[in-house]
Amino acid sequence: MKILIIDDDYYIVEDIRLNTDWEKLGIREQYTAHSIQEARNVMEQHPDMDIVLTDIEMPKENGFDFIHWLYERNLNPVILLLTGHERFDYAHSAIELHLLDYLTKPVDISYMEKALAKAVGESKRRKVYPELFKINRDEEKTETTIEIIQDCVRKNLSSPELNRQLIAEFVHMNPDYISAVFSKKTGESLTCFILKERLKAAKVMLATTDYSLQEISYRTGFSTPSYFQRQFKKSVGITPKKYRMDEKRK
């Protein structure tokens, strides 16, 4: 398996090249480039490149220019973005271009190796099912990502620290990327989804248990009982106590 690493900063490229456990990942050949033109030259010599790890911001042309160049030539390596800036527009572009992941500098080698391991698996899958990849690469990946995010939220509702950063750590993706994917696919923000799931769980507890409001707020991850009650009334239209009384009468 082959990888092309692209960054105009020589030391970043060398750090990645020298400190990554390529043998463990099964990536036997590593190529490097410090400009988009150099990257094009490498790809013309090795059109069967399996994985591309590219910086976004570079002189003259950027990583997105290079990705469009690849797609125009029907070259489909697994692509990982590398950037020093967490920007929503970058994450959004990554979604539109069907990229596997979005990594930020300074490079965390252990995190990057996990992303590369996923890239290796994805590259193998594309070779086995090339037509399936071409038809379904966007929808399939997005659906899986959404399901993973939703599952992560539901399993960690009791944590007051549950947010996009924590979820990103669980699913090994960039926080901007998962927020953008989630909003684009579901039509609601990740923050709204977390609140909705907290309130849904609270309703079940109010209707089926004798837990105190304090206990319910704790079990559903609200920072304080008063905050829980405010959010509940704002969303449901009645207080938790009134909701419980109405449910008990049914």
**Res. 53: pLDDT tops 90:** yes
Query: Which tokens in the block code for residue 135?
Result: 């038809």
- CATH 1.10.10.60, applies to 192-249: yes
Q: Count other Cβ atoms within 10 Å, centred on residue 82.
A: 24
pLDDT-based confidence at 147, cuts 50/70/90?
confident
Q: What share of the chain is helix, strand, coil (3-state, %, to 5)?
A: 65, 10, 25
Res 95: pLDDT: 56
Between CA 97 and CA 181 the distance in angstroms is 12
Percent of the chain scored above 90 by pLDDT?
A: 54
Reported CATH class of domain 2-137: alpha beta
pTM given for the model: 0.55
pLDDT category of residue 172 using cuts at 50, 70 and 90: low
Q: Is residue 249 packed enough to be buried (19+ CB in 10 Å), middle (13-18) or exposed (0-12)?
A: exposed
Domain boundaries, the chain: 2-137, 144-186, 192-249
Residue in this structure with the two tokens 């109010």, named with its chain if needed: 206
Return the beta strands (E) in the chain as ranges: 2-6, 29-33, 51-55, 78-83, 101-104
